[in-house]
Structure 1
Amino acid sequence: MIIRVCTALLAALLAVVAAPPPTTAADPADPAPPRTVSAADPAPPRTVSAADAAPPRTVSAADPAPPRTVSAWLPYWDQEGAYQDALRHAAQLHTVSPFWYQAISAERIDGHPGAGAQRVVDGLHAAGIAVVPTVMETMKPGVLAAILADPARRAAHITALLTVVGSRSYDGLDIDYESIAPTGDAGYLAVRADYATFLTELCGRLHALAKSCVSTVSPQTAATGRIWDYAAIGRAADRVRIMAYDRHPRGGDPGPLAGVDWYEEILRRATALIPPARIEMALPAYGWDWPAGGGGSARHVTMREAEALRVAEGVPYTLDPVSMTPHFGYTDGEGVAREVWYQDARGIEADLPVLARYGVRNTSLWALDFEDAAVWPVLARA
């Protein structure tokens, strides 16, 4: 998770010369994935034997090539590692979304360090992978809603986004706007309608340029994600990526990030409003390391880091029987009891039958270079 100090800084400086100026982002040493919220208590764990915890079968040379059913985000803070990871798994990836841009205002969109790196764009294209960069935003409460509600400012913002997509040989844009998610009851319906109008107009302009339009949204459950007009977004966008993670967010109590039972609720609602062929279920390749019992912000760990920590601490592999996600406890060097919940290939494999029941075969991964290699043959069976 630590930015490579020498080579990455040099690459970033060269790339930023050609890209829009970078903005200040969240701490790259401990980035948080896109936000989703929920509240669910984990079920009592069961301990899995070493035989049970064996990774899924790997693909042999005799197996047919896996289908291109996976997209993935490329984090700018680990750009080279994530880029090389994408190339290793190019046979399965149809799209990579570099996490490169941030909307600052109606007319200003800045690039993160390394944004627009031509070597990355060209290398992904040479591997047959579409490049659809992500534009995110962290505006102050109410700012984005005001932009979307004003036709003139909304049009100016769409023009700024089209400038980004035209700045390189990009294949489209992924819009990941989340500051409107906590909108209160009084403004909920208006903001939902304005966002749907914005996305419909943007997608229409992108389609006129033969570019794809991807919308990243929070999962809709009984308790979360109400801001998104799934039906309207599903009509406008080519793909709708549902961020199916952070069921227990970093600032809450410890618990599973995802889970079979939760995915059932998410997909039951989503497929009633969005054609399943347009849905990408975005899966986590990371976890959170909380103070035991909650009461503090969690540390981000990649899937590989979490499993390495479990092995180093000599803790048995344990799978929650309801969510089917791994977790373990340990005591850190300062004597603090901690609790880690994460996702791995075994947990993802347990989720796939739920996706299949709802006709969803496309997945996304947050994020490249977080995952264990055993995830890829699992995703090939999605």
Structure 2
Amino acid sequence: MPTLTTARTAPWLVLGLLLGVLATAGAFLFDLVETSRRLPPDRQPRLVLGDRLLDLPPVLTGGDVLVPAALVEELGGRLVDQDGLAVISSPRGLLQADLQASAARLDLEELDIPVPDHRVHGRLYVSAALVERLFPVSIHREGPAVVVDSLAEPVLEAEVMEAAPVRAEPRRTAPIAADARPGDTVRVFAEEDGGWLRVRAGGVLGYMDKRQVRLLPPRAPQAAGESARVPRHDLPGWSLLKPVNLTWVQETRARSGEPEGSPPPGVNVLSPTWFEIEADGSVRSIANPAFVHWAHAHGRYVWALVSNGFDPDRTSRFLNDPAARLRAARQLVALAALYRLDGINLDFENMHLADRDAYAAFVEELAGLARAQGLVTSVDVTLYSSSPNWSLVYDRAALGRAADYVIVMAYDQHTGSSGPGSVSEVAWVEDGIRRMLEEVPAHKLVLGIPFYVRVWDVTQDGEGRPDVRSRAVSMGRGLALAREAGVEPVWDEEAGQLYAGWQQAPGSWRHVWLEDERSLALRLDVVRRYRLAGVASWRLGLEEPEAWSVIDRHLQAGGY
């Protein structure tokens, strides 16, 4: 009996499963197909505060705009409305209004703006002009909406490059809320995962594909002195950042979502490697807005790194084109506003010596624009050497005058061309810092320290000629290699590091100068001794856990 029942029902089970699979596949395919569905237009005007739709409808009477008095609480003020008297506290004073007499006073000054007892459904309404008098905002008609914009924040906009829909949600299958035409200007508020920008187009809030617009340089706030503009989160002003404890975060591809865990203890600046400049001044970006949110939530600043790709010819074309330099500077400031960055870290390396002055000019141009938006500008330089492309190309004095911080990458002392040696001998570091201080003041100078070591392999060919090769590994891996070989490292007084060397085979030797708490402490003593602005470490993920406590302990003991 069970067998006969199973045989009878099996085709129906198969059919059901098949239909389920088809439904799932159909839903998946539907999610990949753009929709032309449209939201119905608003029949009544809506009140929009920046990028938020408020549940406080405005009233249009002729040419006048009335807004709910409760709007003042959305702007940070307070409202008392009772017994024919309205009291509003605002950044510009205390307003007291006799609603029966339609008269008002701001502190001791009689206002020329009437405040009648105008109510809709029991809710007090006041003129937009009154709110503009009390708060640094602009209230205006924009398409079907009445828009309230802060005058104390920079304005980030984008130009529409092709006809494109403004969608209700950040996905292609979301219904269309509005249409944007080529040449239109839309207000930009943030970037979402998947390359979507949160925008306001003609008073309609929605999302646009960032590939369909071009970011414009931010417009300076009209009332910058009335409220804090930067940073846009609960962190102290960057000018109070003493000492700097920065670590670079190497990123080679675009990511989404927040990192797991918390930033390293003691670190106050994270510098992800997000931007690269092309010859025409355009900026390639792999920025992740979720990373910035995560960093700010943990009380850390974000100074995104900007690279030249270490391509000297491409960099030369860029630096010698004033229009390209201006384009890059404006786009970087716009990207900083979009992602709510706190600063920009310029890492231009391997440039032609002939471009020395042009690079200094670019840093000065960028720093000027950045400073106007409250952004920190830092620039990376090497310690002194005879290399035209890697050292002589930096006009360190000019860079120090232009930027807020100069970060000295005090590593790669020995490279493949120099033969085996330490990445960063402490004496070499201190000599370089003393020389740097002749060109850059100590309060702007940040010491770059390595979290990596180089493993040197030296072999001899049949004629006794050495073949030298090296590779960079993490602090922990260098020590592990020595232990695997059964070698106990010894202290190298000259380098200020532990050293391990051993023979791997006849004619083949391996050398490694190690980083540990003691060698890090010696470099941090240089920071304290010369009262430098702080440290920057290359890079997050190569360190041993105790490195952070060593850095934090020395910086806190420095008396900043």
Q: Look up the equivalent residue of 1:207 and give its one-letter code.
A: R
Residues 250 and 288 in structure 1, CA contact (< 8 A), matched pair in contact too: no
Determine which of 317, 322, 341 is the counterpart of 1:170: 341
TM-score, structure 2 length as denominator?
Answer: 0.51
Match of 2:176 in 1: none
What pairs up with 1:26-45 in 2 under 5 angstroms?
none
- Residue in 2 aligned with 1:100? 274
Residue 350 of structure 1, CA deviation: 1.8
- Residue 216 of structure 2: aligned partner: none
Deviations 1:300-356 (A, max 9, x none): 201121122222222112222112122322456999532223422211112233333
Contact 1:251–1:298 (8 Å) recurs in 2: no
What does the per-residue CA deviation read over 1:18-52, in whole Å, with 9 as the maximum and x for residues that have no partner? 6999xxxxxxxxxxxxxxxxxxxxxxxxxxxxxxx
Which structure exhibits the higher relative contact order, with contacts defined as CA atoms closer than 8 Å and separated by 6 or more residues?
1
Aligned to 1:348: 520
Q: Percent identity?
A: 25
The reply to whether residue 313 of structure 1 matches residue 485 of structure 2 is yes
Q: Does 1:301 align with 2:473?
A: yes
Partner Cα distance (1:371, 1:344) in 2 = 9
Match of 2:246 in 1: 71
Matched, 1:358 2:534: no
1:179 aligns with one of 315, 327, 350 = 350
Give runs of aligned pairs for residues 272-311 of structure 1, distance below 5 A. Answer: 272-292=438-458, 295-311=467-483
1:132 partner SS: strand
Q: What CA distance in whole angstroms lies between the structure 2 residues aligned with 1:251 and 1:221?
A: 13
Q: Distance in 2 between the 1:167 and 1:332 partners?
A: 53
1:209 matched residue in structure 2 = 373
Moved more, 202-211 or 99-108: 99-108
Instruction: Give the CA deviation at 1:69.
Output: 3.6
What SS does the corresponding residue of 2:391 show, helix, strand or coil? coil
Aligned to 1:329: 501
How far has the Cα of 1:16 moved from its partner? 6.8
Q: Could you say if the C-alpha distance between residues 171 and 361 of structure 1 is closer, same or farther in structure 2, counting changes exceeding 3 Å?
A: closer
Contact 1:254–1:341, Cα closer than 8 Å, also in 2: no
Q: Which residue does the alignment assign to 2:221?
A: none
Query: 1:345·1:372 contact (CA, 8 Å) conserved in 2?
Result: no
Counterpart of 1:208, as a letter, is: A
Give every structure 1 segment of 4 or more consecutive aligned residues whose post-TM-superposition deviation is greater than 6 Å: none
Return the structure number with greater strand share: 2
Corresponding residue SS for 1:292: strand
Give the match for residue 109 of structure 1: 283
Corresponding residue for residue 166 of structure 2: none
The AA in structure 2 aligned to 1:97 is S
Partner in structure 2 of residue 243 of structure 1? 409
Separation in 2, partners of 1:265, 1:368: 26
Give the structure 1 partner of residue 145 of structure 2.
none
Instruction: Report the alpha carbon displacement of residue 133 of structure 1 after superposing the two structures with TM.
Output: 0.9
Amino acid at match of 2:281: E
Are 2:130 and 1:130 aligned?
no
Contact 1:196 1:233 in 2 (8 A): yes
Please report the RMSD computed on the Cα atoms of aligned residues, expressed in angstroms: 3.0
The Cα of 1:177 is off from its aligned counterpart by: 0.6
1:346 partner letter: R
What letter matches 2:361 in structure 1?
T
Q: Aligned partners of 2:418 and 2:467: how far apart in 1?
A: 7
- What is the alpha-carbon distance in structure 1 between the residues aligned to residue 532 and residue 434 of structure 2? 11
Q: SS of the counterpart of 2:456?
A: strand
Contact 1:99-1:134 at 8 Å conserved across structures: yes
Q: Work out whether residues 18 and 116 of structure 1, in 8 Å CA contact, stay in contact via their aligned partners in 2.
A: no
Are 1:87 and 2:263 matched, yes or no? yes
State TM-score, norm by structure 1: 0.73
Displacement, 1:120? 1.8
8 Å contact 2:249–2:272 — kept in the other structure?
yes
Name the count of aligned residue pairs: 311
Q: 8 Å contact 2:344–2:376 — kept in the other structure?
A: yes
Distance 2:445 2:308 in 1: 22
Counterpart residue identity of residue 263, structure 2: L
Please state how far the C-alpha of 1:284 moved relative to its aligned partner: 0.2
Contact 2:490/2:498 (8 A) holds in 1: yes
State the structure with more CA Rg. 2
- CA–CA distance in structure 2, aligned partners of residues 179 and 173 of structure 1: 19
Alpha-carbon distance change, 334 to 239 in structure 1, aligned in 2, over 3 angstroms: farther
The secondary structure found in structure 1 opposite 2:312 is: coil
- As a proportion of its length, which structure holds more helix? 1
Contact 2:281 2:318 in 1 (8 A): no
Contact 1:15–1:116 under 8 Å retained in 2: no
Query: How much does 1:161 deviate?
Result: 2.2
8 A Cα contact 1:87 1:127, kept in partner: yes
